[in-house]
Structure 1
Amino acid sequence: MQIHNLSKTPSVLNSFMLEIRDTNIQKDRMRFRRNIERIGEVLGYELSKSLTFEAKTIETPLGSSNTTLYNEDIVLCSILRAGVPLHNGLLNYFDKAENAFISAYRHHKHNPESFEIIVEYLACPSLEGKTLILADPMLATGQSMVATFEALKPFGTPKDIHLVSVIGAQEGVDFVSQHFEKNAHLWIADIDDHLNDKGYIIPGLGDAGDLAFGHKLQQ
């Protein structure tokens, strides 16, 4: 897998990352969602450079202009519910993309330190021969990404696969690297040190879904 860690190059992205991590600023849910969306826009822009393009000529009021446009059929899939702001940011740039949504959550069978990923709701167009962008803001263990991709397989085989995350742990990056093909891409804003004993990213930022939409009741 090809890994593109945007934190390696300082940019305006650093400001958005600082704000989603800051315990005081992240209390503002609207700003948290907007920052995740803006991070999605930056990641989408960088991702777009790897797509295939074709020449196109358009007519302006005063003449002709030549440009190049990407010529891939994109399906943008996000993992509910935390993935919604990231999905919106990517969709701002890939506005003609088809869209898929899937729910995936951690189910703790016996104790808080062990869990399995449960996939329930799924809505998806055909993926056959298309470019799949799979978005999940937090790449912790990597199990959600893998479980989601397995659930999408009945919808066809994508031509190319791009994973998009805001923050990941090295363990999660290593896990998805083992389960996706070498020509797949991971676009990520930052990679943190490790996971704690409950599988959460350290230093991370907390629960992205709760910060974006409020605390949920545990079942």
Structure 2
Amino acid sequence: MQIHNLSKEPSVLNTFISEIRDETIQKDSMRFRRNIERIGEILGYELSKSLNYKNHTIKTPLGESKTKLYQQDVVLCSILRAGVPLHNGLLNYFDAAENAFISAYRHHKDNPESFEIIVEYLACPNLNDKTLILADPMLATGQSMVATFEALKPFGVSKSVHLVSVIGAQKGVDFVSEAFGPNTHLWIAAIDEKLNDKGYIIPGLGDAGDLAFGEKLQQ
């Protein structure tokens, strides 16, 4: 897997990452969602540089302009519900993309510190020969990303796969690196060093879904 860690070089991205981590600023859920969206835009822009481009001529009222436009058919898939703001940011840049949505959540059985990933809802177009962008803001253990990709396999074989995350733990990055092929790309804004006993990223930011949309009742 090819890993693109944008935090290695300082940029305005650092501002958005610091704000979604800040426990005072993140109380403003609208600002939290908007910052995730802006991070998605930056990740999408960087990802776009890796696509294939062809020459294209555009007619203007006064002449012709030559440029290069990407040629791939893109399918953007996000994991509900935390993935929605990230999805919106990517969609702002890949506005012609087809869209897929999947629900994947942690199901705790008897031990609150162990869980399995449950996939219940999935809506997806044909993936054959298309570029799949799989987005999940928090790459903690990596199990949700892998479970989602497995669930998408009946919809076709994509030409290329790009994983997009805001913050990941090194353990999760290592897990997806082993699970996905060498030609897969991971685009991530920051990589933290570890997980706690419950599988949350440290220092991380907390529960991205709750911060974006409010706390949920546990079942």
Task: Give TM-score scaled by structure 2 length.
Answer: 1.00
Matched residue, 2:162 = 162
**1:64 & 1:145 partners in 2: Cα distance?**
44
CA distance in 2 between partners of 1:129 and 1:181 (Å): 16
Tell me what 1:115 maps to: 115
Aligned positions of 1:37-76 closer than 5 A:
37-76=37-76
Aligned positions of 1:63-102 closer than 5 A: 63-102=63-102
Question: Equivalences for 1:1-219 in 2 at 5 Å?
Answer: 1-219=1-219
Q: State the alpha-carbon separation in 2 of the partners of residues 170 and 185 from structure 1.
A: 16
How much has 1:20 moved relative to structure 2? 0.3
Q: Which amino acid aligns with 1:215?
A: E
What is the CA–CA distance in structure 1 between the aligned matches of 2:100 and 2:58, rounded to whole Å? 32
Matches of 1:14 and 1:114, distance apart in 2: 32
Aligned-partner residue type, residue 71 of structure 2 = N
Cα deviation, 1:124-175, whole Å, max 9, x if unaligned, reads 0000110000000000000000000000000000000000000000000000
Partners of 1:217 and 1:36 in 2: CA distance:
23
Aligned partners of 2:23, 2:198: CA distance in 1, in Å? 20
**SS state of the match for residue 18, structure 2?**
helix
Structure 2 counterpart of 1:101, one-letter code = F
Residue 61 of structure 1 and its aligned partner are, at CA, apart by 1.5
Letter of the 1:33 partner, please give it: R
How far apart are 1:82 and its partner, in Å?
Answer: 0.0
In structure 1, C-alpha distance between the alignment counterparts of 2:16 and 2:61, rounded to whole Å: 39
Which runs of structure 1 show a deviation greater than 3 angstroms over 4 or more consecutive aligned residues? none
Matched residue type, 2:14:
N
* Aligned residue pairs, count: 219
Instruction: Provide TM-score, normalisation by structure 1.
Output: 1.00
Using the alignment, how far apart are the partners of 1:63 and 1:18 within structure 2?
A: 46
Shift of 1:60: 1.2
Superposed displacement of residue 62, structure 1: 1.4
Q: Which amino acid aligns with 2:69?
A: L
RMSD: 0.4
- Aligned partner letter, 1:57: T
Structure 1: any 5+ residue segments left out of the alignment?
none
Deviation at 1:59? 1.1
| Alpha-carbon distance in 2 for matches of 1:129, 1:65 | 30
Q: Runs of 5+ in structure 2 lacking a partner?
A: none
The separation in 1 between residues aligned to 2:25 and 2:61, in whole angstroms, is 46
